Amino acid sequence: MSGSVRARRPASPPLSGSHASATSQRFPHARQDHLDADVRRAAASKGLAPGRVKAYPLGGLNLSSGEWKLLVVVLLVASAVRLFRLSKPSSVVFDEVHFGKFASKYIKTQYFVDVHPPLAKLLITLAAFVFGYDGNFDFKDIGKQYDDVPYVAMRLVPAILGIATIPLSYLTLRGLDCRATTALLASLFITFENGLVTQSRYILLDSPLIFFTALSIFFWVGFCNEDKHEPFTESWWGWLFMSGLSLGAVASCKWVGLFTIATVGLSTVGQLWNLLGDLRIPPRVFMHHFAARALCLILVPVLFYMGMFQIHFMILGSSGDGDGFMSSEFQHTLGGRGMADTFADIALGSQISIRHVNTQGGYLHSHPHNYPGGSKQQQITLYPHRDHNNDWRIYNATWEENDSGELTYITDKMRVKLEHITTEKRLHSHDVRAPISDVDFQNEVSAYGMPGFDGDANDDWWVEIVHGDKRDRESGKRLRTIRTTFRLRHALTGCYLFSHKIKLPDWGFEQQEVTCNKNAVLANSLWFVETSTHPLLPEDAPKVNYRLPGFLAKFIELQQVMWTTNAGLTDRHTFDSRPESWPHLRRGINFWVKDHRQIYLVGNPMVWWLSTLSVLSYIAVRGFLILRAKRGYRDFDSTKVVKYDSLCGFLFLGWFLHYFPFFIMGRQLFLHHYFPSLYFAILLLSGVFDLVTSTLRPRVRLQIAGVLIILAVWNFTHFSPLAYGNQWTKSKCNSSKWLKTWDFSCNDFPDTYAEYSGIAAATPHVPPVLATGGQGAPVAEPDPEHTSSYVVKAEPGRDIFAGEPQEVRSKARPPPPVDEESNISSTAQTTSTAESASMVAESSSAVSSQEEASAVPSASSTAAQAASSSAAAEAESSTAAAKPAKLAGPQGEAEVEAEKVAHELYPDALEK
């Protein structure tokens, strides 16, 4: 019976415990002993016994000791490449004009406005401060010799960050599971990329930008590896937090850093989407993932970004060149810009200053200079600085005199006149086209009249109160200083006093145009009174002042100003370029030319073109795989395809998001705007190399990488004279123009190296000559990149916020005194005679005035004195000839026009 009974099989061992690792004759080794060959080699290099693997490496970076030694060698090579001759040239290069000047202003605590956030500028300023810079060098011109400036220390900041970018590229690719050979190839490509080397050797912001971009991507890759291994560990939180901190830093260098945030953001969305579709993850855990990413990738970068501006505001506590861009409230937070309390009430006879609401609050301003065309009457402008030429007195225009001695407040719908106190002319408009906005609905606004002349109806304006302050009920019923916003409507033509972001040319001292607009946009026709005084107001009368804004209000306002200024940088530059020309390296940027040497920003052609080819290859292969998937092929079932598609897809996303947004920008663009995209393109090139050589033996793969590295080094060496400003010959330069569009100037180099021995080491400063054109024909130096709102000089009609208003202090003196007989005689004259005499008086006053003299190109001092004396003599004779009077009429503009035409046709007859 026992023979018919089958013996029972022994019980299976439990899944856990010591039996879990039990072996059998068929499988003699434990399961974990079946390791990949690369893993076994890595374990052996760390001294681990066969079958033992160390705990999960931090961020998934499983580097051997040999790789760390290799990284040290790469760092030494990178340091040698980027620090070589860092002190040369010892003069200002390209945009050091701007960013060096900003460091000076930080040290002097003078407020300025720039289109870029402050982090990179603060790092450069810190280096300058530590090495004893006093901020007195002006960085005025490209090629200006440095004097008592620690410029090497300032250049060292971008150089060190450029060096640090190289190991980050290596570690990033290793974190993306690329081979060590591939990571080495990428790091050396970046080391010997001429454009990145050139940009990292000077006081510029692009090297810090690229460093923080690389740092953000490195931390994000490390976080993704930790997230795949085990979420919510200490290292998981550390990588996520550092990713957010790096994103805040890259956005605090340049707004281009927002593209890096977009890259990480889209990757985050993909992660959350996959988690949402994973039924093994409960909703509560999903919300934890979402909250953690929102906290570290949104809140942390925002707080870091705002913290940089808090430091910015704390340092720049004094008044400076950037005041005119900010609102009145903002300006009064700066030292030296505070205003004493002013009377709240405005009455007939009050002396007031009027500010525009919309365009950074310029003052309604006039000065003793006439329009060159139109009526040729005295100019009315908007001026950004305080000045006695901003003062006006407000009168009743109905000719009803108030003899009671009581104050008559300015109420809604009151008809008034505004008299310019310095020149005693009235705010005036007529049916004459504006000087710049020459359209039918824009009339000229001028200052018209003379002392003792009552004026005409074209001096009359209706006050229309738009709104008041909610805290002051009276401000909505009558004019109140600061608290009432109003419009001025011309009594005869019905147009509104108006100003916009258009600057007058040199004859208007580049101040903002003021017109009378029949179709005025409400925002640009709003005004308010900033200061008010009246002799009948007692000292204890109610007074007002600006409410000082807090940090958040100042932060938001500055972001708006930066956006407006950045959008206004539309002027063309000799070396600007458009995005479509960047991937094939169509042209570079001339940084500096002096002493038969030249610094020209151009990339390493081999690295540049191979990286572009890798981008195109990825697009083609990915499209092909999509078509195959549509036809039923299952390529994406392969783990190898999935791995490289994920790797290359992420890098392509970074390249795309850092490149294509520039196509929708209308501002000035340069080749260096492509550098963040170039970083991703080089990593993508290395990823493609890793895929293509994945089936080759390691030695063959290393040999191919060696050949590519040698070619990259040769390309770098060939163009290195343009990166370092080294000696070069004309023949070598011409032979290096591989593309006709490369416009570095070969005519600036001598024929032989022997000629350099005859060139003096120190030469007096001469404005550098930059070259343009395929043959290197020399041309005058162009303006450097207009990233700053300080240096730009606008063309007529240019947006005023494309360049910072120059500090022009008006110093005009009152017109020369006129005797009583002249006053009596001029009162009896007709309107035409009055206006003619006023124009003559203006010319005399203009000679004595020194207003805006620094902003206008002047001739020699001898010519200026001759012109001044002749103008004064002409003014005296003309004033004497103007004394015979005619019967005065109510208005005289028609006669004025007739007399003006007669004066143009028969000037000699009228003078006699």
Is residue 528 within 8 A of residue 355, CB to CB? The reply is: yes
Same domain flag for 360 and 474: yes
Give which of 354, 347, 345 is closest to 381, Cα–Cα.
354
> Could you say which of 719, 743, 762 is where a domain stops?
719
Which range has the top average pLDDT, 244-253, 475-484, 865-874?
Answer: 244-253
Q: Residue for token digits 């830093």?
A: 249
Check pLDDT > 60 for residue 201: yes
Beta-strand runs (E) in 659-780: 770-772, 777-779
Region 795-814: mean pLDDT is 39
What is the spatial distance between Cα 709 and Cα 184, in angstroms, rounded to a whole number? 9
Per the model's pLDDT, the better-predicted residue between 455 and 705 turns out to be 705
Weakest mean pLDDT among 167-176, 188-197, 700-709, 867-876:
867-876
Q: Is residue 491 located within the same domain as residue 604?
A: no
User: Which range marks the domain in which residue 278 is found?
Assistant: 65-313+581-719
Element (H, E) at 164: helix 151-175
> 532 with 588, same domain?
no
Residue 89: cis peptide before it, omega within 30 degrees of 0: yes
Mean pLDDT, the chain, integer: 81
**Cβ-contact 489, 415 below 8 angstroms:** no
Q: Is residue 775 part of a domain?
A: no
Residue 872 CB neighbours (<10 A) = 15
Lowest mean pLDDT among 15-19, 703-707, 735-739: 15-19
| Identity at 641, one-letter amino acid code | V
Please check whether residue 423 is in contact with residue 815, taking contact to mean a CB–CB distance below 8 angstroms.
Answer: yes
CA distance 23 to 27: 6
CB atoms under 10 Å from CB of 489, counted, come to 20
One-letter identity of residue 217: I
The rounded Cα 905 to chain-centroid distance in angstroms is 51
- Verify that 213 and 249 share a domain, yes or no: yes
Among 463, 465, 489, residue whose Cα is nearest residue 477: 465
Shared domain for 346 and 303, answered yes or no, is no
CA distance linking residue 784 with residue 788, whole number of Å: 10
26 within domain boundaries: no
Q: Could you read off the pLDDT of 426-479 as tens digits, one per residue? A: 999 998 888 888 788 889 999 998 887 877 889 999 999 998 888 888 888 889
Contact present, 477 and 411 (Cβ < 8 Å) = yes
> In whole angstroms, what is the distance from residue 757 CA to residue 297 CA?
57
Q: Is the dihedral of CA 455, 899, 447, 493 positive or negative?
A: positive
CB contact at 8 A, 166 and 81: no
The percent of residues above 70 in pLDDT, for the chain, comes to 76
Mean pLDDT within 768-790:
38
Distance CA 346, CA 351 (A): 9
The residue type at 191: T
Local confidence band at 329 (pLDDT 50, 70, 90 cut-offs) = confident
Report d(CA 413, CA 416) in Å as an integer: 9
Mean pLDDT score, 29-38: 53
In a domain, 484, yes or no: yes
Cα–Cα distance measured from residue 512 to residue 476, given in angstroms and rounded to the nearest whole number: 29
Strands (E), 275-390: 342-343, 351-356, 363-370, 378-383
**662/37: higher pLDDT:** 662
Instruction: Indicate whether 352 and 279 sit together in one domain.
Output: no
Q: For residue 80, is it within any domain? A: yes
Residue 525 and residue 405 share a domain: yes
pLDDT above 90 (res 123): yes
Burial zone of 533 (CB within 10 Å; 0-12 exposed, 13-18 middle, 19+ buried)? middle
Could you tell me if residue 726 is inside a domain?
no
Q: Where is the domain boundary, 690, 719, 748? A: 719
Read off the tokens for 355.
């500010």
Cα–Cα separations (whole angstroms), residue 744 to 86, 309, 460, 607, 738:
21, 39, 60, 20, 12
Strands 496-503 and 442-448: unpaired
Together in a domain, 476 and 596? no
Query: Which letter does DSSP use for residue 691 in this model?
Result: H
* Rounded Cα distance, 60 and 56, in Å: 7
Q: Which of 607, 543, 612 is nearest to 584 (CA)?
A: 612
Q: What is the mean pLDDT of residues 550-579?
A: 89
Rounded to 5 degrees, φ, ψ at 521 are -70, 135
pLDDT of 404 reads: 61
**Cα–Cα distance, 100 to 318 (Å, whole number):** 19
Instruction: In whole angstroms, give the CA distance from residue 725 to residue 29.
Output: 64
DSSP line for 369-419: EE-SSTT--EEEEEESS--GGGEEEEEESS-----S----B-BTT-EEEEE
CA distances from 247 to 101, 259, 303, 796, 816 (A): 27, 10, 11, 40, 63
CA 31 to chain centroid = 59
End-of-domain residue from the set 667, 698, 719: 719
pLDDT of residue 828: 39
Phi/psi for 772 (5° steps) reads: -140, 165
Residues 299 and 396 reside in one and the same domain: no
Residue 10: other Cβ atoms inside 10 A: 6
Q: Round to whole Å and give the CA distance between 226 and 59.
A: 6
What lies within 8 Å, CB to CB, of 675 at 6+ separation is: 195, 196, 199, 206, 209, 210
d(CA 297, CA 292): 8
Q: Which residue from 110, 100, 194 is spatially nearest to 153, judged by alpha carbons?
A: 100
User: Does residue 738 sit within a domain?
Assistant: no
Distance from the first to the final alpha carbon of the chain: 154
CA pair distance 136, 139, nearest whole angstrom: 9
Residue 540: CB atoms within 10 A of its CB come to 6
Structure-model confidence comparison of residues 863 and 550, the more confident one? 550
Note the pLDDT of residue 568.
80
Q: Are residues 404 and 507 in the same domain?
A: yes
- What is the Cα–Cα distance from 496 to 526, expressed in whole angstroms? 9
* 324 pLDDT tier (thresholds 50, 70, 90): confident
Residue 567 located in a structural domain: no
Residue 465 lies in a domain: yes
For residues 305 and 355, state if they share a domain: no
Summarised one tens digit per residue, pLDDT across range 592-611 is 999 899 999 999 999 999 99
With H, G, I as helix, E, B as strand and everything else as coil, classify residue 25: coil
**pLDDT score, position 572:** 77
CB-CB contact of 106 with 74 (8 Å): no
Place of tokens 């956006």: 563
Count CA within 13 A, CB hemisphere, residue 866: 6
Q: Are strands 442-448 and 425-433 parallel, antiparallel or unpaired?
A: antiparallel
Instruction: Give the per-residue pLDDT at 851.
Output: 38
Structural domains counted in the chain: 3
pLDDT of 55: 76
**Domain shared by 144 and 280, yes or no:** yes
Locate tokens 């020399």: which residue? 778
pLDDT at 567: 84
What is the chain's alpha carbon radius of gyration, rounded to the nearest angstrom?
A: 36
Contact present, 715 and 191 (Cβ < 8 Å): no
Taking the CA atoms of 379, 384, 389 and 394 in sequence, report the sign of the dihedral they define: positive
For 780, what's the count of Cα atoms within 13 Å in the CB-facing half-sphere?
A: 1
Calpha distance 363→371 (Å, rounded): 19
DSSP state of 198: H
Average pLDDT over residues 631-647: 92
Q: Which two tokens stand for residue 859?
A: 């001739």
Q: Give the pLDDT band of residue 400 (cuts 50, 70, 90).
A: low
Please name which of 461, 462, 348 lies closest in space to residue 403, comparing C-alpha atoms: 348
Distances 474 to 356, 468, 469, 565, 657 between C-alpha atoms, Å: 21, 8, 9, 37, 53
